[in-house]
A and B are shown apart, each in its own frame.
Chain A
Amino acid sequence: MTSLAWERRKGSAARLWRSYRSHRAGLYGLAGLAALALLALTAPLTVGADVQSVTHAPGTALEPPSARFPLGTDRFGRSLLGLLVWGARISLLVGLLAAVLSVAIGTLVGVLAGHYGGWFSTVVMRITDWFLVMPTLVLAIVLATVMSRSVWTVVLAIGVTSWPTTARLVRAQTIAVESRPYIERATALGGGHRHVMARHVLPNVMPLVLAQTTLGISAAILTEATLAFLGLGDPTVVSWGGMLQDAREAGAVSSGHWWYLAPPGIAIALVALAFTLCGRAVESVLNPRLGVGR
């Protein structure tokens, strides 16, 4: 890498940030995410892993919100605020990993299909189409059911079922990039398949991948919560969806214990919203058609 290339990249990053700043919703989303990430990362210091302990639960079961327990307690007498903070770790982790996995698969499939084209592309895209028309949730439920219940199962189940959209987008972008003259020049100068894909196509589809990941995270968090709510998560791990499932099983809905249900539900909605706001802002920054040129 030459220093010139670095300069150029630095410049474009600054440009990117400048235009991102002009999206107020995106800034709100980013601020929300930063706060949440901070909360999740510092959870071991603020609430501590002990908050999950049922044998050392400080309160009695299903206490309403009070000064001691701002969000009340769960069926074991654990502080719901503490659990909410602790649960953010799993929900965010699963969301991030699943989205990264999904986008990684999608990018790989998309670039390969777009680059090689021909019958290979046709076969791969038909498989993609098959996954695309399969309802993600049904597939994820099947996977989560047949595999043992753990966080990794959920990550895998979400990751391998939600990649087709990315694959389609990346393939289209790959074809667009490869039709440019400089790719032809690179090939003429002896660049092989790998060189073209890694050095020219990938950097050009990366912005798209970034936007797709940001948007994918919110979907992944929602799916994780859904799977946990349906009882397909790891019951021994505290997550937001799992808290909802616990609340439902304890009969919180019919007995009016709203403080058991509402916080995790609202948290899920807010995080999904924050990621979506960020993703949308990134997307409109990167998409020239949406009016912000490079």
Chain B
Amino acid sequence: MVMVTKVPPRPRPGARPARLRRAAGPLLAAGVTAASLAAVPATAPAAAAEDGKSGGTTLTVAVSQSIDSLSPFLAQKLTSTSVHRLAYEYLTNYDPKDARTVPGFATEWSASADKLTWTYKIREDSTWSDGKPATAEDAAWTFTTMMTDPDAATANGNFTANFEKVTAPDPRTLVIRLKKPQATMTALDVPIVPKHVWEKVGDFSKFNNDRSFPIVGNGPFVITDFKVDQYIKLRPNKTFWRGAPKFDELVFKYYKDGDAAVAALQKGEVSFVPNLTPAQAAALKTQKDIKVNDAPGRRFYALATNPGARAQDGTAFGNGNKALLDPAVRKALFLAVDRATLVDKVFQGHAVEGEGYIPPRFGSYFWKPEAARKRAYDPAAADKTLTDAGYVKNGAGERLGKDGRPLSFRILCHATDPNDKAVAKYLQEWWGRLGVGLTVECLDSVSDPWTKGDYDLAFDGWSVNPDPDYVLSIHTCGTLPATAKDTGATDNFICDREFDGLYAQQAVEYDPAKRAELVKRMQSRLYDTGYMNVMAYPNALEAYRTDQIASLTTMPEAAGNIWGQDGYWSWWSAVPAAGSGGSGSGSSTGVVVGIAATVVVLAGGFLLLRNRRRAGADDRE
């Protein structure tokens, strides 16, 4: 795997209420209603009070996704890898302007003529936060550990799988010897850890790097505290070679409910909130001191069909519908999906219609089918495709499969993602007109049926990094599970020899233009296999308080995103606003308060009645 930002299969926009904490009882729903209505006006603790606490400035970021591990060898989730970007240096970084490779821990690099030996010059002005110098020896140790200990290769092992030997002939030189050429050598997204701290760790599969704080690192920030699902606190690294960050403290604070995070932003309790809904963004736009950032996203949002799950040893497993193995059925289903309407209605325009595979934001790799090949919305053609392929409608308007039974599919959706449910509603209606049934199966965690191949269709999505190797690799045969019992890195059990051939070619191609051409051909092939329908590239919809953050760098610098960047730019560059005073903008309508009160009163009356009734019942017994 070549990317830092694994978000399998999608970043969860943590939208789950604190469900078990609420008292059980008949009053519950009314109580919940009242609570949610009251949520906006009720949260009134001191706004932006942190600023005054230590005399310093605090940047608070609302997050929802849990940390899987603080160990760079294990962390795969977006929040964790974002924190690691801040706390550790990587050999190289990406320029915020155009995402080209820029110096990180290494200042310069070169490949030998046979493309198999890479030499990196390590910078002299980087020190660990405990004062020890950071050297090539640390990098060599990090890579060697990942090569020799399978547990240490959990998160980023894909980078080092092709490494033969990594050495540090002197503290400023790192030499990596490869087995065969590797195109990702200037995009090695591996946090370099301090050898003198980490060589004491015994079992990398168990060590989560969350025991002693501050955690020794050499990135722009130092992790000073962490409480599971509560907060992660960081302080700036004053000796950071690129310059110390401007804020005095950076806090990632957990809000499992999106509305609660937005309310906190309105109150000034947090400075930044990612993953807004269109309604939230529209409401925040009109508010004073809040800037809404609506940037092209780096994620694709797709419909995946089960191509017949199987393992590398050839055993088929799972219970995917056999009808989907027929290209005509898949084509007809995709032809009946109106992507423009989805962008317009579900994403409210905060997305770009899906085309090939890699989002248009990565211009050099972006590919889209020419007009004649494009699977444009055409329900009539979809109907004809099915009929021509021998799937006819019965008297009740149901489309019959080859076995004579009505065609009906299941779709796996993320219960935590409102967009999945919304799109599913549209799919039900569009496909219903074709006479094809659709059952929506929403689960909190889809990974179980997914890895077992127990699905017909699924909502799929990945964040794409500047180097597309990883998102391409997950469709190669090599990532299928070894046996039916294993779990592979495969996204959707796609295994296509032609695609694999192109993947192998691009992996060893050092010429950027030629590689980009190969990557486009891969996308073209993937499109033709017809297993996936990329519906949209959702925008990054996020907001921050301008009275707390004066400025920060987006990526790309022109109209880019803030959260989940390929680098530490946003928080490293953030400048505190002058005299950031707390201004609780309690502009939420009084109507809401009124309704909340009404509901509370109604609920109270109900409670009263219940109690009186109970008294009666007790008497009787």
Contact with A along B1-42 (1 / 0, CB 8 A): 000000000000001110110101111111011101101100
Flag whether A11 is at the interface (Cβ < 8 A). no
Q: Tell me which of A100-108, A182-190, A245-253 binds B.
A: A245-253
> How close is B88's CB to chain A, nearest CB, in angstroms?
34
Q: Number of contact residues on B: which range applies?
A: 35 or more
Flag whether B482 is at the interface (Cβ < 8 A). no
- In the complex, the number of residue pairs spanning A and B with C-beta atoms less than 8 Å apart equals 196
User: Could you say which residues of chain A place their CB within 8 Å of the CB of B613?
Assistant: 215, 276, 279-280, 283
Contact with B along A229-258 (1 / 0, CB 8 A): 111001110000100101011111111111
Flag whether B430 is at the interface (Cβ < 8 A). yes
Q: Number of contact residues on A: which range applies?
A: 35 or more
State in angstroms the CA–CA spacing of A237 and B259 once bound together. 24
Most buried by B among A77, A254, A257, A268: A254
> How close is B234's CB to chain A, nearest CB, in angstroms?
27
Flag whether B464 is at the interface (Cβ < 8 A). no
Q: Is the CB–CB distance between A289 and B619 below 8 Å? A: yes
User: Could you say which residues of chain A place their CB within 8 Å of the CB of B263?
Assistant: 253-254
Q: Is the CB–CB distance between A269 and B617 below 8 Å? A: no
Q: Out of A57, A141, A253, name the residue touching B36 (CB < 8 Å).
A: A253
Contact with B along A135-155 (1 / 0, CB 8 A): 111100100010011000000
State in angstroms the CA–CA spacing of A229 and B31 once bound together. 12
> How close is B267's CB to chain A, nearest CB, in angstroms?
11
State in angstroms the CA–CA spacing of A77 and B602 once bound together. 29
Closest to A150 in B: B439
Flag whether B389 is at the interface (Cβ < 8 A). no
Q: Is the CB–CB distance between B440 and A235 below 8 Å? A: yes
Contact with B along A267-280 (1 / 0, CB 8 A): 01110110011011
Closest to A149 in B: B442
User: Could you say which residues of chain A place their CB within 8 Å of the CB of B444?
Assistant: 145
Flag whether B609 is at the interface (Cβ < 8 A). yes
User: Could you say which residues of chain B place their CB within 8 Å of the CB of A255?
Assistant: 262, 277, 279-280, 282-284
Closest to B420 in A: A235
State in angstroms the CA–CA spacing of A264 and B595 once bound together. 12
List B residues 586-621 near A (Cβ within 8 Å).
588-589, 591-592, 595, 598-599, 602-603, 605-606, 609-610, 612-613, 616-617, 619-621
Q: Is the CB–CB distance between B277 and A222 below 8 Å? A: no
Flag whether A62 is at the interface (Cβ < 8 A). yes
With A55-B430, A249-B277, A276-B610 known as contacts, the answer to whether A235 contacts B28 (CB < 8 A) is no
User: Could you say which residues of chain B place their CB within 8 Å of the CB of A244?
Assistant: 32-33, 36
User: Could you say which residues of chain B place their CB within 8 Å of the CB of A256?
Assistant: 40, 283, 588-589, 592
State in angstroms the CA–CA spacing of A75 and B346 once bound together. 8
Q: Is the CB–CB distance between B29 and A225 below 8 Å? A: yes
Most buried by B among A62, A255, A256, A277: A255
> How close is B32's CB to chain A, nearest CB, in angstroms?
6
Flag whether A290 is at the interface (Cβ < 8 A). yes
State in angstroms the CA–CA spacing of A256 and B262 once bound together. 11
Decide if the interface of chain B is mainly helix, strand, loop or mixed: helix
State in angstroms the CA–CA spacing of A77 and B348 once bound together. 11
Q: Is the CB–CB distance between B605 and A273 below 8 Å? A: yes
> How close is B360's CB to chain A, nearest CB, in angstroms?
25
> How close is A102's CB to chain B, nearest CB, in angstroms?
12
Flag whether A226 is at the interface (Cβ < 8 A). yes
Q: Is the CB–CB distance between B619 and A235 below 8 Å? A: no
State in angstroms the CA–CA spacing of A225 and B20 once bound together. 15
> How close is B61's CB to chain A, nearest CB, in angstroms?
17
Q: Is the CB–CB distance between B19 and A141 below 8 Å? A: yes
Q: Out of B19, B27, B599, B610, name the residue touching A230 (CB < 8 Å).
A: B19
Closest to B284 in A: A255
State in angstroms the CA–CA spacing of A248 and B148 once bound together. 48
Flag whether B314 is at the interface (Cβ < 8 A). no
Q: Is the CB–CB distance between B424 and A236 below 8 Å? A: yes
State in angstroms the CA–CA spacing of A149 and B486 once bound together. 28
User: Could you say which residues of chain A place their CB within 8 Å of the CB of B496?
Assistant: none
User: Could you say which residues of chain B place their CB within 8 Å of the CB of A273?
Assistant: 602, 605-606, 609
State in angstroms the CA–CA spacing of A65 and B225 once bound together. 48
Q: Is the CB–CB distance between B440 and A248 below 8 Å? A: no
User: Could you say which residues of chain A place their CB within 8 Å of the CB of B259?
Assistant: 248, 251, 253-254
State in angstroms the CA–CA spacing of A280 and B615 once bound together. 12
User: Could you say which residues of chain A place their CB within 8 Å of the CB of B605?
Assistant: 273
Q: Is the CB–CB distance between A258 and B279 below 8 Å? A: no
Closest to B278 in A: A61
Flag whether B266 is at the interface (Cβ < 8 A). yes
Q: Is the CB–CB distance between A262 and B280 below 8 Å? A: no
Flag whether B441 is at the interface (Cβ < 8 A). yes
Most buried by B among A57, A62, A251, A289: A251
User: Could you say which residues of chain B place their CB within 8 Å of the CB of A272?
Assistant: 26, 29-30, 606
Flag whether A54 is at the interface (Cβ < 8 A). yes
Q: Is the CB–CB distance between B595 and A258 below 8 Å? A: yes
Flag whether A41 is at the interface (Cβ < 8 A). no
User: Could you say which residues of chain A place their CB within 8 Å of the CB of B381?
Assistant: none
Q: Is the CB–CB distance between B589 and A269 below 8 Å? A: no
Known: A55-B426, A253-B259, A272-B30. 12 other contacts (CB 8 A): A61-B345, A169-B617, A215-B613, A225-B29, A229-B29, A230-B19, A250-B418, A251-B258, A251-B276, A258-B37, A268-B33, A276-B610
A-B contact pairs, 29 of them (CB 8 A): A53-B429, A55-B426, A55-B430, A61-B278, A61-B279, A76-B422, A137-B25, A149-B440, A215-B613, A219-B26, A224-B29, A226-B28, A236-B421, A244-B32, A249-B277, A251-B283, A253-B259, A254-B259, A254-B262, A254-B263, A255-B279, A255-B280, A256-B283, A262-B37, A266-B599, A269-B599, A272-B29, A273-B605, A289-B619
What are the nearest 4 A-B pairs in CB distance? A255-B283, A265-B33, A254-B262, A249-B418
On B, residues with C-beta under 8 Å from A are: 15-17, 19-20, 22, 24-30, 32-34, 36-37, 39-40, 258-259, 262-263, 266, 276-280, 282-284, 341, 345, 348, 413, 415-416, 418, 421-422, 424-426, 428-430, 440-442, 444, 588-589, 591-592, 595, 598-599, 602-603, 605-606, 609-610, 612-613, 616-617, 619-621
